[in-house]
């Protein structure tokens, strides 16, 4: 033990060894329904290892936020802005669309890269927690689709609303839920963003109205949010996301009609990842051009694996809706690496070679990293060191979240998530 690096324990008055024993006793004393002693031992071991071996000095000394910001605003590269050509947008009932010539400055590029990488690491952690049976129930991962959320979020104003389906972890974090709020919610703890009542599919925060478990049911709610914006006289918009599997739902076509009749500021986003559960789009839909499904509603097809293309399409859509032109549809052509949910291995209806090919040729994080390096917005060494730092940093956060989630008591039937959590504000505050 004497060769291990020292760190500041959470309790200033206690030594490292005393704090470790307290954590160990706490893990076994706190009720953890359904967890076996062996699983708790694994949890404790992982937590201690993360603190002793993986915690960077700046995190141990309480300077993690400063260290992250200093890396992502460093000025080692002389290039401050770069331009790229996106894949052509496909248009429906629009004379002109977003520009395929997009530009990004260094700070924004590194910010988008950080956000996508953060979501990927969080989803990996969620998957591992599920396999250890620390997370129970449903769990749908967003790995591979990060550019959709990050690109759209970059175009939104603070008062715009978002509602999505059950792949909600990444969106919840982008909209303001902390790492702990997401991970604790997954484990059913009171420190979760919905007091442990919602779990994987039901996370909420200001202007983010969840994850929703019923296929397609969030889309009418999103149109209701758009109606609220228009009724209150604001220029706010509502983003209602759904998958290709939900695109054939009758309720979606019903609210297409209502949204167009009233010219509501709703951005319908179909995240087409190629499969509705285990059924490919070609087997499930007579028409797979989802951006044209609105008939009388304008639509845009966009490469959902390109964060800058998603940002430009979202900016166009926000401007379209905010200026009173009514609803618009975005079809984000993307891909998910995991199965439909953690109970689906994702290999019975597609080959491993198909998944590997997408990872190698279309991965949103890798391809964006290549753009950053090729235009000298950052060097490969910078991104590598930053990635390693973020990996350790996020690993430490997961370890801390394990501890805090375990210290936090399990959700009680008497808890009222709506009363206790100020997460359902008025439509625009």
* 113 Cβ neighbours under 8 A, 6+ residues apart: 365, 368, 369, 372, 383
Domain 81-161+220-404 sits in CATH at 3.40.50.970
Q: Is pLDDT above 80 for 60?
A: no
| Alpha-carbon gap, residue 45 to 10, rounded angstroms | 17
Q: Residue range 74-94: average pLDDT?
A: 85
pLDDT confidence of residue 392: 73
pLDDT band for position 325 (cuts 50, 70, 90):
very high
- 12 pLDDT above the threshold of 70: no
pLDDT value, residue 165: 95
Q: What is the pLDDT of residue 252?
A: 97
Report the pLDDT value the prediction gives residue 414, as an integer from 0 to 100: 62
User: What's the pLDDT score for residue 79?
Assistant: 77
Q: Which helix (H) or strand (E) holds 275?
A: strand 275-276
**Contact residues for 99 (Cβ-Cβ < 8 A; gap 6+):** 312
Q: What is the pLDDT of residues 247-285, one digit of tens each?
A: 999 999 999 999 999 999 999 999 999 999 989 999 999
Q: Would you list the domain boundaries of the chain?
A: 81-161+220-404
- Across the range 83-92, mean pLDDT stands at 97
User: Tell me: the pLDDT tens digits for 332-373?
Assistant: 999 999 888 887 888 889 999 999 999 999 999 999 999 999
Burial of 83 (0-12, 13-18, 19+ CB in 10 A): exposed
Rounded (5°) CA angle 162-66-367: 55
Going from the C-alpha of 97 to that of each of 38, 175, 267, 312, 314, the distances in angstroms are 57, 27, 15, 10, 11
Residue 266 exposed, middle or buried by CB count within 10 Å (0-12, 13-18, 19+): buried
Of the candidates 205, 208, 127, 118, which has an alpha carbon nearest to the alpha carbon of residue 170?
Answer: 118
Between CA 365 and CA 388 the distance in angstroms is 15
Q: At what angle do helices 106-131 and 307-322 cross, to 10 degrees?
A: 100
> Which of 34-43, 50-59, 112-121, 368-377 bottoms out in mean pLDDT, i.e. has the lowest?
50-59
- Of 196, 249, 182, 186, give the one whose Cα is nearest residue 218: 249
pLDDT above 50 for 80: yes
Q: β-strand 275-276 against 266-272: which pairing, if any? A: unpaired
What pLDDT, on the 0 to 100 scale, is given for residue 17?
44
Burial (CB count <10 Å: 0-12, 13-18, 19+), residue 288: middle
């Amino acid at each position: 033990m004497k060769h291990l690096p020292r760190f500041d324990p959470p309790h200033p008055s206690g030594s490292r060894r005393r704090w470790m024993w307290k954590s160990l006793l706490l893990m076994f004393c706190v009720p953890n329904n359904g967890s076996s002693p062996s699983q708790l031992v694994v949890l404790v071991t992982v937590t201690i290892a993360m603190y002793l071996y993986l915690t960077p000095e700046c995190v141990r000394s309480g300077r993690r936020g400063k260290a992250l910001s200093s890396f992502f605003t460093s000025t080692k590269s002389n290039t401050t802005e770069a331009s790229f050509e996106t894949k052509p947008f496909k248009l429906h009932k629009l004379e002109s669309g977003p520009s395929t010539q997009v530009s990004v400055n260094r700070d924004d590029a590194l910010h988008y890269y950080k956000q996508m990488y953060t979501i990927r690491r969080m989803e990996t952690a969620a998957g591992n927690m599920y396999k250890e049976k620390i997370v129970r129930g449903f769990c749908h991962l967003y790995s591979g689709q990060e550019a959709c959320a990050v690109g759209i979020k970059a175009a939104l104003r603070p008062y715009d609303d978002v509602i999505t389906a059950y792949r909600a972890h990444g969106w919840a974090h982008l909209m303001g839920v902390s790492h702990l709020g997401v991970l604790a919610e997954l484990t059913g703890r009171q420190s979760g963003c919905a007091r442990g009542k919602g779990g994987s599919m039901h996370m909420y925060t200001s202007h983010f109205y969840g994850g929703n478990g019923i296929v397609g049911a969030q889309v009418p709610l999103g149109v209701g949010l758009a109606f609220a914006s228009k009724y209150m006289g604001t220029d706010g918009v509502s983003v209602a996301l759904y998958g290709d599997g939900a695109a054939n739902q009758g309720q979606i076509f019903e609210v297409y009609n209502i949204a167009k009749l009233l010219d509501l500021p709703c951005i319908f986003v179909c995240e087409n990842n190629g499969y509705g559960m285990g059924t490919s789009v070609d087997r499930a839909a007579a028409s797979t051009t989802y951006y044209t499904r609105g008939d009388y509603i304008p639509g845009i097809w966009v490469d959902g694996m390109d964060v800058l293309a998603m940002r430009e399409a979202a900016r166009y859509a926000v401007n379209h809706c905010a200026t009173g032109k009514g609803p618009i549809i975005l079809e984000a052509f993307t891909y998910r690496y995991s199965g439909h949910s953690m109970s689906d291995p994702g290999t019975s209806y597609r080959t491993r070679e198909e998944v590997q090919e997408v990872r190698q040729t279309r991965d949103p994080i890798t391809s964006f990293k290549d753009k950053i390096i090729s235009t000298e917005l950052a060097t490969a060494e910078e991104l590598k060191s930053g990635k390693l730092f973020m990996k350790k940093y996020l690993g430490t956060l997961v370890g801390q979240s394990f501890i805090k989630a375990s210290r936090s008591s399990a959700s009680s039937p008497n808890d009222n998530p709506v009363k206790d959590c100020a997460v359902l504000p008025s439509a625009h505050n």
